[in-house]
Amino acid sequence: MASALFTPGKLGSLTLPNRLIRSATQDPFGQRDGTCAPEQVALYQEIAQSGVGAIITAYSYISPEARSTGIQVGFATQEQRNSQKKVLDAVHAAGGRLILQLMHAGMNVFLPEKRVEGGKLLAPTGGMTAPNEMTTTELAQADLDKIRADFVDAAKAAKALGFDGVQLHCAHGYLLSQFLDPNSNQRTDSYGGSAENRFRFPGECLTAIREAVGQDYPILVKVNTNCAGEADAAYAQDILYFCRQFEALGADGIELSGYNWLGLGKKKVPTFYLDRAKEIRKAVSLPLILVGGVRKLEEMDAILGAGIDFISASRPFICQPDFYQHLEKGEESPCIGCTKCLGNIWSKEGRRCVKHEIPEGFPKT
């Protein structure tokens, strides 16, 4: 019996030829000015040529102050948008579909100038210690208004340039997930406390984007299905509420991830979040996309058989840009989930994956 993975599916008005999506992956080809390097154009074209259903871009910051790493690609300036258009054109030329992931790093911003005396690190909650050891300053209403407007501006630009959709990044410890997560959102105003209040700002951003791009333009959301510590027991119910609200506000699909994907990958846990995804499936009717620890076709069939509509994968595509074609042949991914592709293996060894050969001239001295 043929796998359901190779059958078409829809995300709003967007029809995909199969059920596999390349999930957003930080590629080592962003330049210091936030533009895409030529290597990124070539990589995305290669992935698209393999026949994968769609590609979600590396996370792209919506404003200069929203950046997460020094090599992250942006979508804030016209120069950055022009460089991403080159990637888009290459994907379309290869017959693929490209969805732009939009994000704001929140307390995880990478801005050296913020470290000078008097600098402020804006976050949902003030007085917290951020990963860069700065103390956070609570976002005021004017800050929230600007961030919401930046998301809208980026989404409108993505539609105008011809991207096949956008994805609102509400996962992995960035700003919108910081609002959803009770560990990072300890506000006492209408944006904190209950699940309804914690959802308020991500919901405002989604609503504003939908109003700006119209009803037929595909909007996806990526969200954590879990959170750290004792709060996760309550979060198991909160995520059901969040997903119902995403659906009510016009999202065309939800990609389900989690805060602990890195650790689960190192432990080689398969299908990280399937149990939570099954509960979410009961709560909503819009398409669901599951990411995390999926390597084998039989695992994908089990996920699809559980009512999840699409599979997304990241590291298998780093190991094999033509991962989809290997699945068509019945082959397993050689990816071992070591996560070294997320470190500095590229700069040290000139390769993205430990399964790749080290080019001549590396390692650098």
Q: Please list the active-site residues.
A: 174
CB atoms within 10 A of CB 73: 26
| 60: phi then psi, degrees, rounded to nearest 5 | -120, 125
Question: What is the C-alpha separation between 283 and 279, in angstroms, rounded?
Answer: 7
- Residue 256 CA to residue 233 CA, distance in Å, equals 17
Residues 303 and 285: their CA atoms lie apart, in Å, by: 16
3-state secondary structure of 7: coil
Only one residue has tokens 């559980």, namely 306
Determine which helix (DSSP H) or strand (DSSP E) holds 11, and give its type and residue range. strand 9-11
d(CA 232, CA 20): 29
CB contact at 8 A, 170 and 222 = yes
Query: What three-state secondary structure class fits 196?
Result: helix
Q: How far, CA to CA in Å, does 91 sit from each of 44, 52, 96, 216, 228?
A: 6, 11, 5, 21, 37
Distance CA 165, CA 216 (A): 10
What type of residue sits at position 317?
Answer: F
Q: Residue 312 pairs with which residues in a beta bridge?
A: 21, 291
